[in-house]
């Protein structure tokens, strides 16, 4: 299974990038992080729409799209692992997680996603969201293979 994380904003050499690289090395799945940036001076609805267009373009063809959104479904780590396992076992070859910018994802992109996932009730910076997602992907993998990393 291939996983693509399509995210607004470029993370260069900061702790978030290092966290993502660490989990990429640990995961058995090929995880590609594609970063997009709107280079025009936009705001509000126009910015959200421009970001959505860039995220759609960065999403692999035929990928099952999971939108990260605060109004999405909050899953426990175990339930997230089960969901990933089901997708894997059902032959889903490509997953794409989309993470919006500081103002979130455009509603049309959320509506078109196969699933909308929340990382919890709290609001998280969009840059931290990708690091948290990477950790949860790794945690899900360890749950699926019975590794003791997850202690719940």
Residue-wise pLDDT tens digits, 69-95? 999 999 999 999 999 999 999 999 999
**pLDDT single digits (tens) 99-128:** 999 889 999 999 999 999 999 988 888 889
Residue-averaged pLDDT of the chain: 93
H helical segments located in the chain: 15-26, 44-58, 77-89, 107-112, 126-145
For residues 135, 137, 143 and 144, what is the CA-based torsion angle, rounded to 10 degrees? Answer: -160
Q: Which letter, b or e, does each residue of 84-96 get, where b requires 16 or more Cβ atoms within 10 Å of its Cβ?
A: beebeeeebebbb
* pTM, rounded to two decimals: 0.94
DSSP state of 64: E
* pLDDT at position 21 over 80: yes
Per-residue pLDDT band for 42 (boundaries 50, 70, 90) equals: very high
**Cβ-contact 99, 8 below 8 angstroms:** yes
Q: How confident is the model at residue 152 (pLDDT cuts 50, 70, 90)?
A: low
What's 2-145's CATH class?
alpha beta
Q: Are 117 and 68 in contact (CB under 8 A)?
A: yes
Cα atoms in the 13 Å half-sphere on the side-chain side of 109:
30
CA-wise closest residue to 5 among 119, 115, 129:
129
> So what's the pLDDT on residue 88?
94
| Predicted local distance difference test score (pLDDT) of residue 119 | 94
């Amino acid at each position: 299974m291939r996983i693509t994380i399509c995210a607004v904003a470029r993370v260069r050499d900061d702790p978030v990038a290092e966290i993502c690289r660490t989990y990429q090395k640990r995961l058995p799945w090929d995880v590609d992080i594609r970063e997009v940036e709107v280079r025009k001076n936009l705001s509000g609805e126009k910015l959200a729409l421009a970001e959505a267009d860039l995220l759609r373009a960065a999403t692999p063809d035929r990928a099952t799209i999971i939108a990260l959104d605060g109004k999405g479904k909050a899953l426990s780590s175990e339930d997230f692992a089960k969901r990933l396992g089901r997708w894997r076992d059902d032959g889903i070859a490509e997953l794409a997680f989309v993470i919006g910018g500081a103002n979130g994802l455009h509603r049309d992109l959320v509506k078109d996603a196969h699933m909308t996932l929340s990382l919890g009730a709290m609001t998280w910076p969009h840059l931290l969201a990708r690091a948290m997602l990477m950790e949860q992907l790794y945690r899900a993998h360890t749950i699926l293979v019975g590794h003791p990393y997850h202690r719940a």
